[in-house]
Structure 1
Amino acid sequence: MTADFFWAPRPRPTRGPKPALTLEQIADAAVAIADAEGLAAVSMQRVAADLGYTKMSLYRYLSSKTELVAAMMERALGGSPQISARADWRDALTQWATALLAAYESHVWSLEATTGRRPVGPHEIAWLECALRVLPPGLTGAERLDAVATLAGHVRMIAGQHGGAESDLADAMSAILRDHAASYPAVVAALSEVADEGGADNAFAFGLARILDGLESLLERRVSR
């Protein structure tokens, strides 16, 4: 794995046949496999076979599965969202988080792909740049990075639940609580209220709003000092 995988100029061969593939074609084939069968199904051998080439031919473009997965993430994540310069910071960060959630949910393997040491590409840094750019003034550099990390962590947690998880969990607990309600009165009360008044599966919007409330409150306290 090389840290400058996306950034170092790629040598152009002066002899021999011209490259028959592009890194984008290879990554797109790998993404298609991961979308259908999961990240574990992706290998250099499998991608090469799906493209109609030998495994060794892929090593002209990347040196390992780690680099392949990094290239997949660049294609899956895509460019950062286009946010209007007129949007206030809360709306802008809501748009950013919503777009990131959509990207993760479109490629469920991407959560696994973005852990551990790996090459970081221009799209991923552009997403960070986008979020940092729309944060309001009044935060230190460390706080700006932590704010984005907190937002991204919330998005990842929700994406990992795979839509409808709250309702599924509530259904599972309801079946258990029919026989054990007396031991868990707070859980019973909360589930009963949801059944009567609704509001399930709102963890993304609720949590996002509370994170933004916290940032706003912090900034207001600093201004009032």
Structure 2
Amino acid sequence: MGAERRDTGAKGGDDVVALLWRGATPVRRGPRPRFSIDGIVTAATTIADARGLDAVTMQSVAESLGTTKMALYRYVPGRVELDALMLDTALGTPPPAAAGSPWHVALTDWARSVHARALARPWSVELAQRPHVPGPVELAWFESGLAALAGLPLTGAEKLDTLALLVGHVMSLVRQQPAGASPEADLAARLAPVLAERAGEYPHSLAAFTGASSGARDDALRFGVARVVAGVAALADERG
């Protein structure tokens, strides 16, 4: 990434918050700006979609827009701010929950939606797992997930922890799983010759990976989400 700024000091943090929550841009006198923040973010995400996050630099974004990176600094102060803007647009707005869905169905659908959107843009996972301030779109995902939990006897912190568990599970799967692949089946296939030769040393691993090789693609997603939801349901029942 060269010498592009990645610090998260107070000034940089203020810039990030201001850009993420900028709202409507006020009309100014004078020539119309050549670029917009939304246009710059779209150019950056297009590069990330095609070539990965490492290909995104202020220079590469500027070249795709036919300008210089110094010109972009008038709109986006640096890479920290650009990363934050990219993350906040990466997953798009959350889909509306089906009317009348029980909480466990709504929460499961929410987790599956996060997974599907992140899998379509796996570069977003790296950005999401860095310390950052949520923008309006990311906060809308939180709002949607919290709405599913609204009627349960959980504290606010417990509801946030529930979403964190689900997001952590989903993001870990996306990191392992290129689009169209099954990480469990792939790993099982690669280990099969070794485990076959050393079955006596690793009998439990052999049994587990043999079962995984025949599982459905989304078994890990389904299993993990279901276990978190079941745990929350048990806690809610315990508290009445």
TM-score by length of 1: 0.91
Q: Quote the Cα distance in structure 1 between the aligned partners of 2:44 and 2:205.
A: 43
**Corresponding residue for 1:175?**
193
CA drift of 1:11 comes to: 5.7
Q: 1:147: which partner in 2?
A: 162
Contact kept in structure 1, 2:176 and 2:183, CA below 8 Å: yes
Preserved CA contact (<8 Å) 2:185 2:212: no
Determine the structure 1 residue equivalent to 2:64: 50
Map 1:13-32 onto structure 2 (within 5 A).
Answer: 13-15=28-30, 17-32=31-46
Hey, which bits of structure 1, 4+ residues long, moved more than 6 A?
none
User: Structure 2: 5+ residue runs without aligned partners?
Assistant: 1-11
Shift of 1:85: 3.1
Report the equivalent of 2:5: none
Partner SS state of residue 4, structure 1: helix
Q: Distance in 2 between matches of 1:23 and 1:215?
A: 40
State how far apart, in whole Å, the 1-side matches of 2:101 and 2:68 are: 49
Q: TM-score, normalised by structure 2?
A: 0.85
Residue 104 of structure 2 aligns with which residue?
Answer: 90
For 1:108 and 1:99, locate their aligned partners in 2 and report how far apart those are by CA, in whole Å: 14
Pick one of 122, 129, 138 that aligns with 1:115.
129
Question: Is 2:215 the partner of 1:199?
Answer: yes
The answer to whether the aligner puts 1:220 opposite 2:221 as a matched pair is no
TM-fit CA distance, 1:160: 1.2
Give the superposition deviation at 1:28. Answer: 1.1
Q: How many residues were matched structurally?
A: 220
| 1:155-188 deviations in Å (ceiling 9; x for gaps) | 1111111131111100111111122111001112
User: Where do 5+ consecutive residues of structure 1 fail to align?
Assistant: none
Contact 1:101/1:155 (<8 A) preserved: yes
Q: Deviations over 1:187-214 (max 9, x none)?
A: 122234456xx32541000111111110
Tell me the amino acid that sits aligned with residue 154 of structure 2: L
2:174 matched to which residue of 1?
159
Task: Report the more deviating stretch, 205-214 or 155-164.
Answer: 155-164
Contact 1:66/1:118 (CA < 8 Å) preserved in 2?
no
For residues 5 and 107 of structure 1, what CA distance do their matches in structure 2 show?
22
Distance in 1 (CA, whole Å) between partners of 2:166 and 2:62 is: 37
Q: Are 1:67 and 1:118, in contact at CA under 8 Å, matched by a contact in 2?
A: no
Aligned with 1:62: secondary structure? Answer: coil
- In 1, the alpha carbon distance for the partners of 2:208 and 2:162 equals 30
Q: CA deviation at 1:217?
A: 0.7
Q: Distance in 2 between matches of 1:8 and 1:105?
A: 28
Residue 81 (structure 1) aligned with residue 98 (structure 2): no
Deviates more, 1:74-83 or 1:208-217: 74-83
Segment of structure 1 superposing worse, 136-145 or 207-216: 136-145
